[in-house]
Copies of this chain bind each other. A is one copy, B any other.
Amino acid sequence: MLLRLRTGLAGLDYDAILGIAKELGYEHRFLDEARTLLELRGQPRAGARGRLEENAAVAQVLDSSDAPELHERRGRPDTLVRVRAAAFGRSQASLIAGPCAVESSERLFEIADAVRAAGATLLRGGAFKPRSSPHSFQGLGTEALAWLDEARARTGLGVVTEVLDPRDVDRVAVVTDVFQIGSRSMGYAPLLQEVARVGKPVLLKRGMAATAREFLLAAEYVLAAGNEQVLLCERGIRGFDNTTRNVLDVGAVAWLKKHTHLPVVVDPSHAAGRADLVPALARAGIAAGADGLIVEVHPRPCEARSDGAQAVSYADIARIAAEARAILALDGRTLSSLQGPAPTPGTATDDNRRAPRKEPACDVR
């Protein structure tokens, strides 16, 4: 450990920081005469970095090599997260697709069939929706969970759904295969701790103004509870230009792949905020190294109760999957797939795709 201290500390301030170092089991020495460079030696201790850097005497942690954090790669291979037919990490990637919110059983089942046919292995769909306004649609809750359960039984797709309230964790756990933590909740410790406890995989969305380090520290809450099944999801950060809803931070994707052993998933839908740009952002995410995609799909966006403008069509999700497969193949990676026909022959989708549309899709695409 190498710390840079603030200049002009008083004796009591040195006592404070050296007291913490001692408590953590470190020996110390100062490297410079001005006593601003403090070297600590001892056994590596997880959590030590956090304890030290929160102290006001510490200006910066210059070297944390023996204060490891659980998310750090430090030579580890990718953590492989497997969920039913899906796998994320190493040479495997997966496609998660579905509606923003679960709106009705019929629509959910139709979309599930379509995304399965396109190549998804996991079905997303919101039962509890985090919304900016109290007057907006908040999700159908328990009823939606039941339909997700049924959709899984019909298609074999695993279920990814958001949990918003720590008090809902247990009932969501009954149904979901992967807990989604939304970007608004990324840094929300009570929820992270509650979800971590269950032991199921967690898809953690990056907060829209979270640094890469803050994102990893949120993951650390799950890891610290003994659950290593974390999928980091880059979904665009807030920028100054509203041409797109958010800015997909492909540099963070590339950096995360180097810095952590956890798999990274890209959400091109929330990044773009408009369906016509989603395929390009999906390709960019995979090309930057992502281990998967999570994409919003809706056959009639103007009937969607939330985020319709960014939902892609059945044709587009099939194209997104095909393009992902092709880019993955360039470096020997594959997109996971469900083998054989769907458990339930819900072929509405295929009919739908073959039938000529009577009306053009609305141009929010």
Residues of chain A having any CB pair with chain B under 8 Å: 2, 4, 6-13, 16-17, 31-32, 36-37, 39, 46-51, 54-57, 62-63, 69, 130-138, 164-167, 184-185, 187-190, 193, 207-209, 211-214, 217-218, 220-221, 224, 236-244, 246-255, 257-258, 271-272, 276-277, 280-281, 283-289, 300-309, 311, 323, 326-327, 330, 359-364
Q: Which 9 A-B pairs have the closest CB atoms?
A: A56-B308, A50-B135, A209-B209, A47-B135, A8-B363, A254-B280, A287-B287, A13-B302, A244-B251
Identical chains in the assembly? 4
In the complex, are the beta carbons of B255 and A277 less than 8 A apart? yes
* A185–B19 CA distance with the chains assembled, in angstroms: 33
With contacts A248-B251, A327-B330 taken as known, whether A187 is within 8 angstroms of B189 at the C-beta atoms is no
In the complex, are the beta carbons of A10 and B55 less than 8 A apart? no
Contacts of A247 in B (CB 8 A): 237, 239, 247, 249, 251
Contacts of A240 in B (CB 8 A): 209, 211, 237-240
Most B-side CB within 10 Å, residue of A243, A285, A286, A323: A243
Q: B62, B138, B220: which contacts A189 (Cβ < 8 A)?
A: B138
Q: B132, B271, B288: which contacts A284 (Cβ < 8 A)?
A: B288
The minimal Cβ–Cβ distance linking A153 to chain B, given in whole angstroms, is 29
The minimal Cβ–Cβ distance linking A331 to chain B, given in whole angstroms, is 8
Contacts of A239 in B (CB 8 A): 237, 239-240, 247, 249
Q: B10, B31, B138, B305: which contacts A360 (Cβ < 8 A)?
A: B10
